[in-house]
Amino acid sequence: MNGVDAKHRLSVPAPLRETIETRSQTRELVLGPDEHSPCLIGYDITYFDRLEARLEEEFAADFGPGRSRKARSVFGATEHLKYDETGRIILSPLMREMGEIGGQVVFMGVGHHFEIWSPEQFLAQEGQDPRVVKLVTALLAGRTQ
């Protein structure tokens, strides 16, 4: 679990930075609101390209309102963030609001991308896996890492 300080800075966990950098060769990530849950999702820019390609594939020559709607939902509220060698990003007020983010967050890898959760918000969700609930509960209780 990582803290968000008074300047809204947030350290991206080093292992995550490593995969981002090996995948994309940049110190850059894309953040946005999740479609279904009160959390943020993040990924490296190569995955961003994949999302674009998927949209292209799905709609092809169709430039109707459906495409626009989908594009807005996928890309509309995203931000591209660079982090320096100390690995911190700055969360904008919008991101903090959309992710319901307070003073602490949990990074959760979910395969191709990752999620950023407020631990309290995570535990408030129905139907989470009990193992992950246990993990987040332990994090909240201060049993570290």
Where do contacts with DNA occur on this chain (CB under 7 A)?
Answer: 1-3, 5-14, 17-18, 81-82, 84, 86-88, 90, 92, 144-145
Q: Is 98 helix (H, G, I), strand (E, B) or coil?
A: helix
| Residue whose token pair is 């850059």 | 28
Alpha-helical regions (H) of 3-129: 14-24, 45-59, 65-75, 93-98, 119-124
Task: Pick between residue 93 and residue 103 the one whose CB is nearest to a second copy.
Answer: 93
**How many Cα atoms are found within 13 Å in the side-chain-facing hemisphere of 59?**
15
Task: Pick between residue 17 and residue 113 the one whose CB is nearest to DNA.
Answer: 17
Burial 17-34 (b: 16+ CB within 10 A, else e): beebeeebeebbbbbbbb
Least Cβ distance, residue 97 to DNA (angstroms): 13
Name residue 109's beta-bridge partners. Answer: 114
Residues 24 and 44: beta-carbon distance below 8 Å: yes
Please give the Cα distance from 137 to 49 (Å, whole number).
Answer: 35
Residue 59's binding partner out of a second copy, DNA, none, with CB under 5 to 8 Å set by partner kind: none
Residue 23's binding partner out of a second copy, DNA, none, with CB under 5 to 8 Å set by partner kind: none
Least Cβ distance, residue 90 to a second copy (angstroms): 10
Least Cβ distance, residue 93 to a second copy (angstroms): 5
Name residue 3's beta-bridge partners. Answer: 104
**Site residues for a second copy per CB under 8 A:** 15, 32-37, 51-52, 55, 58, 61, 63-65, 68-69, 71-78, 80, 92-94, 97-98, 108-112, 115, 127-129, 131-132, 134-135, 138-139, 143-145
Least Cβ distance, residue 26 to a second copy (angstroms): 12
